[in-house]
Structure 1
Amino acid sequence: MRYVLLFLISLSAGYAQDFVWTPGLQSAYADLQKLKIQSAKQRMARESARDGVRIFLDDYADMLLLVTSDDDRLFAAKSEQESTRLDALKKLSDTSPWQRVLIAEVRLHWAFVKLKFGKELSASWDVIRAYKLLSENQKRFPDFLPTYKSLGTLHIMIGSVPESYVWVAKLLGMQGTIRQGQQELQRAQHDPNVGLEAQLIDLMVRAYVLKFSDTDRQTLARLVSQNPDNLLLHFFGATIEQKNGRGEQALTYLLNRPADKNYQPLPVVENILGDIYLQKGEYERASLHFNQFLHAYRGQNFLKDTYYKLFLCHWLASPQNTRSSDTIARNLLQKVLSVGRTTVESDKVAQKFAESSLKNAPASGQKILMQARLASDGGFTDQALTYLRPYSEASFSTTAERAEYNYRMGRIYQRRENPDSAISYLARALTLSETDQLSFGATAALQLGYIYQQKNDRARAQSFFQKALTFRHHEYKNSVDNKAKAGISSL
């Protein structure tokens, strides 16, 4: 009996060593979250290759390399690592609350990677399997906080699925609400290992799925200032602020980002800088950054978008059409059609614009609307109003242009915190868009939902969120539907 007990104790001690956050692995994880991938790998090389935490962090490093490079050859070379690492983790103790969490994390890493490389079906299965693992872990270890980082994220994603697709989630055994997911992310932020990542995910969800508040913005600014050596935080801070129409703050985050040879190269930063300068109307400077991005980047995403933006720089900077100017513009539009792929939404928009513009050259009215759109999207509302003030709805010849004029004016006043002036313009954009199901109608309905939500008029807010969901087949449907569904859930 004594020898049996000794054997069981030694066996359980061995299992206890399956998932150990050693000081070296904690430092490696911190480095990965800063995008210091090579230094993290050096730290990990000194740790046991059998430790489940080490296996997870090796996978985390590969995920970061793949999503920051978008390199198809690197993806092909590393894609077999998913099954190798999953097999290694499955051999470790299933009595540890870490086992299912880390298997789920590896699956979610590869789901994210596969989405970047256009493997949507395989990515979906990874997400489903990760969800089931995390749900099981929650039942077995309800007080284990790391479970809630990714489970909360998945519950938010499920909760924001458009109504017409809810049955699919239920059929697959996936349930969750936005409120539930937010509460779980809040819990995960108290964990010493995954707390920072959970906090960043929470902010990104608020920015991309929900509504980003002034309190959220202050939290983001504090987080970035407290972590001046964290490149990932500066990058995501910039993308969040750019997404929310605060181009100047996004520019500040990028210009103050840490930059030396210890950090993973991020060519996409040049693309974002180009976007901001394009919004500011600094076309030559924007073109420089877009070309620097093309020189450094090895992926297939964002290529169509970048050549589209180079076309905009040329077109908007040209005071009048000439034969040579038209040739350059046409060549850039042809380039949009010949490069990259249409996996990400911005590339789909670029492809559609190029196809349309090569058939019918953009009219002068479209140039004014584009300048106003870019300035407004970046939060440069004084400049946007300067573009549009000389015009009225009657100045534009097509229904689409008139709808866009009203939508742009509404968004400008909304960004200037003048919702009452915004409402009439957005409502007019919605009316003009309904017959032809223009995207301006869907986005106008979404913004009207937000305005009435702020006014605490829940009935009108819900009706406009529902209205946004009725628009079909527009280029922003996925993002608009997700946000409209999230808006309904939050009421």
Structure 2
Amino acid sequence: MIKSLRFILIFFVLAFLSPKNSFANFDFNTNCLNAYKSIFELKLGNAKAYIATEKKQHPNNSIIPLLENYVDYFTLITSGSKVDFDKLKGNKSARLDKINDDDKNSPYYLYAQAEINLQWALIRSRFGEYFNAAMEIRKANNLLLDNKKKFPNFLLNDKGLGLINTVLGNLPDGALKSALSTFGIKGNTQTGLAILDKLAENLPKSTYEPFYEEVVFYYAYVLTDVAHSPAAYVKTMKYTERIADTSLLKSYLQSYVCIKTAHNDEAINILAKKPEGGTYQSFPYLDYLEGIAHLNKLDLGASTYFNRFLQTNKGVNFIKDTNLHLGWIALLKGDKSGYTSFISKANNSGYTYNEKDKQAQNEASAPAPPADLLKARLLYDGGYLSKALQLLDDRKAADYNSDKDKTEFNYRLGRIYDDLGKDDQALNYYQAAITQGKGLKYYFAANAALQMGKVYEKKNNKVKAKEAFNNAISMKNHEYESSIESQAKMGLKRVGF
């Protein structure tokens, strides 16, 4: 009862702040709030029903096109479908036209246009439309800055500005960064993170509480994938705790961050308990994540989840990577013909829009990894450090035939000792990986230099940290080059260079 009264009070304060009392055609009323809440639980069918009701009751409400864009945005995030993308992207201009004809004195007038542009920019970058994405980021940024001048107390401006600053401040070299630099657009990752952290902390205490889940969605993403923050797990679990367990988006955020931060058993538990049913949007990527989590603990039954992903997925991403993982399962079973078949699929099916699939193609083109190195890699990714160490502890680099495997052996032990807090051993193995693999196309040497920089940074040895980060940047023509270079440049900034 208290909770219900609280929500009603929030709604009325919101209504007084911006919608119908002052701005008749930007009305975040009950239908719209219910639609918005359903979107962020990934109940997109319910959201469409609320939007349809609102269209009948208040056809001129310009919050409608914004909500419709949210539905398209999450449809594309969950499906990853290029067909859906090509079909839905034509909706953008009509929605902007509808909003553009409305009340210019509303804080939602520029904000809604910025949100639509930003959402399409984020989606376009997934499908390689970098120039158009850059144009939309530029537009969104300008609209939000203008809106912040007009309405400095409208907290929602900071959601987009925080995201743009964080992503642009750590954008790897490539087509999108090149396009944005043409327009002179730069960001600052630390500024963006501070903005989003403040919002996540303060929004529940404000009249903008209904927008909390969206802020946490973006904040968890940038902490994990953009800033590679050591606080990503703690902050994501903290800020998602107050989100209802009926939210499939909560399950996604928590499990994704747990997998990325080596809290593997927790990820498995979260995915096993995720809400299910016909009201939720189909999200095949969660099967892919579940496969990753099970394989990280060397559960070869992970193939069930990977196969389910391939059967239900309509998208273009993670096809190569899934086949690579199925190949690894075959390899660990001793099924050489199965391994060859899946590696052929990893090479010849799917696309290379994202880094995972690019790397999968690279690995599929390389010789098969030794079983002990593969097991150690998977166990390390899952956070099972002692088990990973046991596999390699009685071996040495000379036991392996190729320079690639010798380098990976040193790199893997460096990562394991690093995470166990044994800095001296970690540094020794990182240096061995750099010495052995500096001229190879594989990422081991460059990432060893990056991680070495982080160890020295932790020790407050800024000179050595600078040297290691610069070493990582100096290595070229290897896997993950843009990402490693961006992280090394952020490291240099942190240590004052």
TM-score (norm 1): 0.88
Instruction: For 1:145-224, list aligned pairs within 5 A.
Output: 145-161=155-171, 169=180, 171-189=182-200, 190=203, 191-213=208-230, 216-224=232-240
**1:480 and 2:481 matched:** no
Percent identity at matched positions?
28
Partner Cα distance (2:359, 2:178) in 1: 29
Match status 1:94 vs 2:111 = no
- Residue number in structure 1 paired with 2:425: 421
Residue 56 of structure 1, CA deviation: 0.7
Q: Tell me the distance in 2 between the aligned counterparts of 1:233 and 1:344.
A: 23
Q: Which has the higher contact order (CA 8 A, sep 6+)?
A: 1
Cα offset, 1:77, TM superposition = 2.2
Q: Residue 257 in 1 paired to residue 274 in 2? A: yes
Deviation per residue, 1:83-134 (Å, 9 max, x gap): 1111112112222222222111111211222223332332222222212222
State the alpha-carbon separation in 2 of the partners of residues 288 and 235 from structure 1.
Answer: 19
Q: Is residue 2:90 matched to residue 1:80? A: yes
Structure 1 residue aligned with 2:321: 305
2:406 to 396, 402, 407: 402
| 1:126 correspondence with 2:130 | no
1:137-174 alpha-carbon deviations (Å, 9 max, x no partner): 22333332111111111111222245899887554131
**Distance in structure 2 (CA, Å) of the matches to 1:51 and 1:479:** 43
**What amino acid does structure 1 have at the position aligned with 2:118?**
L
Task: Give the equivalent residue in structure 1 for 2:453.
Answer: 449
> Unaligned regions of 5+ residues in structure 2, if any?
1-18
| Matched-pair contact (CA < 8 Å) for 1:224–1:234 | no
Aligned to 1:35: 42
Tell me if structure 1 keeps the 8 A contact 2:216–2:236. Answer: no
Q: 1:326 offset after TM fit, Å?
A: 3.3
Aligned-partner SS, 1:21: coil
Cα distance in 1 for partners of 2:94, 2:179 equals 30
Instruction: Specify the code of the residue in structure 2 equivalent to 1:30.
Output: K
Pairs within 5 Å for 1:238-387: 238-283=255-300, 285-318=301-334, 325-357=335-367, 362=368, 366-387=370-391
Report how many residues are paired: 466
Q: Which residue of 2 aligns with 1:229?
A: 246
| Contact 2:264–2:383 under 8 Å retained in 1 | yes
Against the structure 1 CA distance between its residues 267 and 171, is the aligned structure 2 distance closer, same or farther, given a 3 Å change threshold?
closer
- CA contact under 8 A between 1:188 and 1:194: conserved in structure 2? no
Give, as a single letter, the amino acid of the residue that structure 2 aligns with 1:427: Q
Dislocated runs of 4+, deviation >6 Å: 12-15, 163-168
Residues 287 and 89 (structure 1), Cα distance of their counterparts in 2 relative to 1, 3 Å cut:
same
3-state DSSP class of the match of 2:250? helix
Aligned-pair Cα RMSD in Å? 2.4
Q: Does the Cα contact within 8 Å between 1:149 and 1:194 map onto a contact in 2? A: no
After superposition, where does 1:96-111 map in structure 2 within 5 Å?
A: 96-111=106-121
Which amino acid is 2:389 matched to?
L
Moved more, 399-408 or 107-116: 107-116
- Residues 317, 351 of structure 2: 8 Å contact kept: yes
Write the distance in 2 (CA, Å) between the matches of 1:220 and 1:179. 17
- Stretch deviating more after TM superposition (264-273 or 333-342): 333-342
Task: Tell me which residue corresponds to 2:475.
Answer: 471
Q: Secondary structure at the match of 1:16?
A: coil
Find the residue that maps to 1:45 and give its secondary structure.
Answer: helix
* 1:158 and 1:177 in contact (8 A); partners too: yes
Distance change (3 Å), C-alpha of 1:111 and 1:96: same
Which runs of no fewer than 5 residues in structure 1 stay unpaired? 1-11, 319-324
In 1, Cα distance between the equivalents of 2:169 and 2:215? 18
When residues 88 and 188 of structure 1 are mapped into structure 2, their CA distance, relative to the original with a 3 A threshold, is farther
Distance apart, 1:13 and its partner CA = 8.0
**CA distance in 1 between partners of 2:223 and 2:81 (Å):** 29
- Pick which of 190-199 and 105-114 moved more: 190-199
Q: Aligned to 1:46, what secondary structure does the other structure show?
A: helix
Separation in 1, partners of 2:24, 2:419: 54
Q: Which amino acid aligns with 2:164?
A: L
User: Residue type matched to 2:254 in 1?
Assistant: G
CA contact (8 A) 2:259 2:382 kept: yes
Which residue of 1 is the match for residue 3 of structure 2?
A: none
Using the TM superposition, give the Cα deviation of residue 469 of structure 1 relative to its aligned residue in structure 2, in angstroms.
Answer: 2.0
Measure the CA separation in 2 of the matches of 1:341 and 1:23: 42
Q: State the Cα distance separating 1:73 from its structure 2 match.
A: 2.5
- TM-score, normalised by the number of residues in structure 2: 0.87
Aligned residue type for 1:456 = N
SS in 2 for 1:194: helix
Question: Per-residue CA shift, 1:290-318, capped at 9, x if unaligned?
Answer: 11111111122111111111111001121
Pick closer, same or farther for the CA change 1:168–1:461 going to 2, 3 Å: farther
Q: Equivalents in 2 of 1:482, 1:232: separation in Å?
A: 28
Q: Distance in 1 between matches of 2:116 and 2:489?
A: 29
Distance across 1 between alignment mates of 2:239 and 2:466: 33
Cα 1:262–1:166, aligned 2, differ >3 Å: closer, same or farther? closer
Rounded to whole Å, the distance in 1 between the matches of 2:67 and 2:139 is 20
| Aligned 8 A contact 1:24 1:44 in 2 | yes
* Residue aligned with 1:118, SS: coil
